[in-house]
Amino acid sequence: MSNQRLIYGFHAVNARLWQNPKSIVELYVLENKNDARTREVLEKAAAEKVRVHFADMNRLNTIAKGARHQGVVGFIDASKNHVHLEDVLENLREPAFLLVLDGITDPHNLGACLRTADAMGVHAVIAPKDKSAGLNATVSKVACGAAETVPYITVTNLARTLRELKEYGIWVVGTDMDGEADLFHYDIPENVAWVMGNEGDGMRRLTREHCDALVSIPMFGTVESMNISVSAGMVMAETRRQRVLRGEAG
Instruction: Note the pLDDT tens digit of each residue in 64-122.
Output: 988 889 999 999 887 666 667 887 887 788 999 999 999 898 999 999 999 999 999 99
What confidence score (pLDDT) does residue 249 get?
52
Burial group, residue 97, by CB count within 10 angstroms (0-12, 13-18, 19+): buried
Q: d(Cα 22, Cα 68) in Å, to the nearest integer?
A: 25
Q: Is 188 annotated as a binding residue?
A: no
- Give the max Cα distance, the chain: 60
At 5-19, the pLDDT tens digits run 888 889 888 878 887
pLDDT at 147: 81
pTM: 0.73
**Average pLDDT estimate for 221-235:** 89
> Regarding the domain delimited by 85-249, which CATH topology (the fold level of the hierarchy) does it fall under?
Alpha/beta knot (3.40.1280)
pLDDT at 1: 46
Q: Mind listing the pLDDT tens digit for each residue in 24-54?
A: 999 999 999 999 999 999 999 999 999 999 9
Reference 229, options 96, 139, 130; nearest CA is: 139
Confidence check: pLDDT of 234 > 50: yes
Looking at the domain that runs over 4-77, which CATH code has it been given? Answer: 3.30.1330.30
Mean pLDDT of the residues in the chain: 90
Q: What is the mean pLDDT of residues 135-139?
A: 84
Does 226 carry a binding-site annotation?
A: yes
pLDDT digits over 153-207, tens only? Answer: 988 899 999 999 999 999 999 999 889 899 999 999 999 999 999 877 789 999 9
Residues of the chain with CATH 3.40.1280.10: 85-249
> What are the residue ranges of CATH 3.30.1330.30 in the chain?
4-77
Q: What pLDDT, on a 0 to 100 scale, did the predictor assign at position 79?
A: 67
| Residues 174/213, Cβ–Cβ less than 8 Å | yes
Mean pLDDT of 222-241: 92
Judge whether 41 and 8 are in contact, CB under 8 Å. Answer: no
pLDDT reading at 2 higher than 60: no
Contact yes or no for 105/131 (Cβ under 8 A): yes
The annotation status of 1 as a binding-site residue, yes or no, is no
- The pLDDT of residue 82 is 61
The stretch 217-244 carries a mean pLDDT of: 92
DSSP one-letter string for the chain: -TTEEEEESHHHHHHHHHH-GGGEEEEEEETT--SHHHHHHHHHHHHTT--EEEE-HHHHHHHTTT---TTEEEEEEGGGG---HHHHHHT-SS--EEEEEES---HHHHHHHHHHHHHTT-SEEEEESTTS--S-HHHHHHHTTGGGTS-EEEES-HHHHHHHHHHTT-EEEEE-TT-SEEGGG----SSEEEEEEBTTTBS-HHHHHT-SEEEE----SS-S---HHHHHHHHHHHHHHHHHHHT---
Which among 160, 239, 156 has a CA at the least distance from the CA of 194? 239
